[in-house]
Amino acid sequence: MTTLNPGDKAPEFSMPTDSSGTVTLSDFKGKSVVLYFYPKDDTPGCTKEAIGFSGKIDEFEAAGAVVIGVSKDTAAKHGKFRTKHDLKVILASDAEGDVCERYGVWKEKSMYGRTYMGIERATFLIGPDGKIKKTWPKVKVAGHAEDVLEAVKA
Task: Name which of 130, 128, 101, 94 is nearest 14 in CA terms.
Answer: 94
Neighbours of 105 (CB within 10 A): 27
Residue type, 35: L
Residues carrying an active site annotation? 46
Task: Provide the CB-side half-sphere exposure for 148 (13 A, CA).
Answer: 36
Q: What is the DSSP string of 59-81?
A: HHHHTTEEEEEEESS-HHHHHHH
SS (H, E, C) 129-146: CCEEEEEECCCCCCCHHH
Q: Give me the sign of the Cα torsion angle 61, 57, 154, 13.
A: negative
